[in-house]
Structure 1
Amino acid sequence: MWTKIVPVTALIASVSLTGGTAYATPSTPVGGEALGSRGLVAPEGVKKPPKTQATSFVIADVDTGQVLAAKDAHGRYLPASTLKTLTALTLIPKLDKNRKIRPSKNACNQEGTAVGLSVKATYKVDDLFKALMMSSGNDAAMALAETNGGLAQTMRDMNAEAKRLQANDTVAKTPSGLDKPGQSSSAYDLALIARAGLANPEFKRYISTKTSTFPAPRGHYEISNHNKLLWRYKGMVGVKNGWTSKAQGSFVGAATRGGHTILVSIMRHEGYFWEEVADLLDWGFSVRGKATPVGQLVDPLPAAQAAPQPGASAPATTQVTPAVQPPLLDTAAKKQTDSSRTIGAVVIGGGLLFGLIWLGYGIRRRRGRSRL
Structure 2
Amino acid sequence: MWTKTVLITAFVTSVSLTGGTAYAAPATPVGGPALGSRGLVAPEGVKKPPKTKATSYVIADVDTGQVLAAKDAHGRYLPASTLKTLTALTLIPKLDKNLRIRPSQNACNQEGSAVGLTPKATYRVDDLFKGLMMTSGNDAAMALAEVNGGLAKTMREMNEEAKRLQANDTVAKTPSGLDKPGQSSSAYDLALIARAGLANRDFLRYISTKTANFPAPKGKTYQISNHNKLLWRYQGMIGVKNGWTSKALGSFVGAATRGGHTIMVSVMRHEGYFWEEVGQLLDWGFSVRGKVTPVGQLVDPLPAAQAAAPQARASGGPVTQVTPARQPPLLDTAAQKQTDQTKAVGAAVIGGGLLFGIVWLAYGIRRRRRAGSRP
Give the TM-score of the pair, scaled to structure 2: 0.79
Q: Indicate the residue corresponding to 1:223 in structure 2.
A: 224
Say whether 1:8 aligns with 2:24.
yes
C-alpha distance in structure 1 between counterparts of 2:222 and 2:160, whole Å: 36
Q: Indicate the residue corresponding to 1:323 in structure 2.
A: 325
Distance verdict in 2 for CA 1:130–1:297, change over 3 Å: same
Q: Indicate the residue corresponding to 1:266 in structure 2.
A: 267
Q: Indicate the residue corresponding to 1:237 in structure 2.
A: 238
How far off its partner does 1:3 sit? 2.4
How far off its partner does 1:236 sit? 0.1
How far off its partner does 1:296 sit? 0.1
Gaps of 5+ in 2: 1-16, 331-375
How far off its partner does 1:323 sit? 2.9
How far off its partner does 1:312 sit? 7.9
How far off its partner does 1:322 sit? 1.3
C-alpha distance in structure 1 between counterparts of 2:310 and 2:112, whole Å: 28
Identity %: 82
SS of corresponding position for 1:8: strand
SS of corresponding position for 1:85: helix
* Letter aligned with residue 288 of structure 1: R
C-alpha distance in structure 1 between counterparts of 2:87 and 2:309, whole Å: 16
Q: Indicate the residue corresponding to 2:292 in structure 1.
A: 291
1:203-222 matches, within 5 Å, as: 203-218=203-218, 219-222=220-223
C-alpha distance in structure 1 between counterparts of 2:267 and 2:310, whole Å: 32
1:279-358 matches, within 5 Å, as: 279-304=280-305, 317-323=319-325
* Letter aligned with residue 226 of structure 1: H
**Which structure is higher in helix share?**
2
C-alpha distance in structure 2 between counterparts of 1:263 and 1:158, whole Å: 22
1:63-212 matches, within 5 Å, as: 63-212=63-212
How far off its partner does 1:9 sit? 2.5
Say whether 1:257 aligns with 2:273.
no
SS of corresponding position for 1:275: helix
Distance verdict in 2 for CA 1:312–1:163, change over 3 Å: farther
Is the 1:94–1:311 Cα contact (8 Å) retained in structure 2? no
C-alpha distance in structure 1 between counterparts of 2:22 and 2:42, whole Å: 20
SS of corresponding position for 1:190: helix
Q: Indicate the residue corresponding to 1:353 in structure 2.
A: none
Which of structure 1's runs of 4+ aligned residues deviate more than 4 A?
Answer: 4-7, 307-316, 324-327
C-alpha distance in structure 2 between counterparts of 1:37 and 1:199, whole Å: 29
How far off its partner does 1:82 sit? 0.1
For residues 307-330 of structure 1, give each alpha carbon's deviation from its aligned partner in whole angstroms, at most 9, with x where no partner exists.
567898885631111136799xxx
C-alpha distance in structure 1 between counterparts of 2:180 and 2:264, whole Å: 27
Q: Indicate the residue corresponding to 2:43 in structure 1.
A: 43
Is the 2:18–2:78 Cα contact (8 Å) retained in structure 1? no
Aligned length: 309
C-alpha distance in structure 1 between counterparts of 2:225 and 2:108, whole Å: 19
For residues 350-369 of structure 1, give each alpha carbon's deviation from its aligned partner in whole angstroms, at most 9, with x where no partner exists.
xxxxxxxxxxxxxxxxxxxx
C-alpha distance in structure 2 between counterparts of 1:325 and 1:56, whole Å: 37
* Higher RCO (CA 8 Å, separation ≥ 6 residues): 1
Is the 1:149–1:313 Cα contact (8 Å) retained in structure 2? no
Pairwise CA RMSD: 1.9
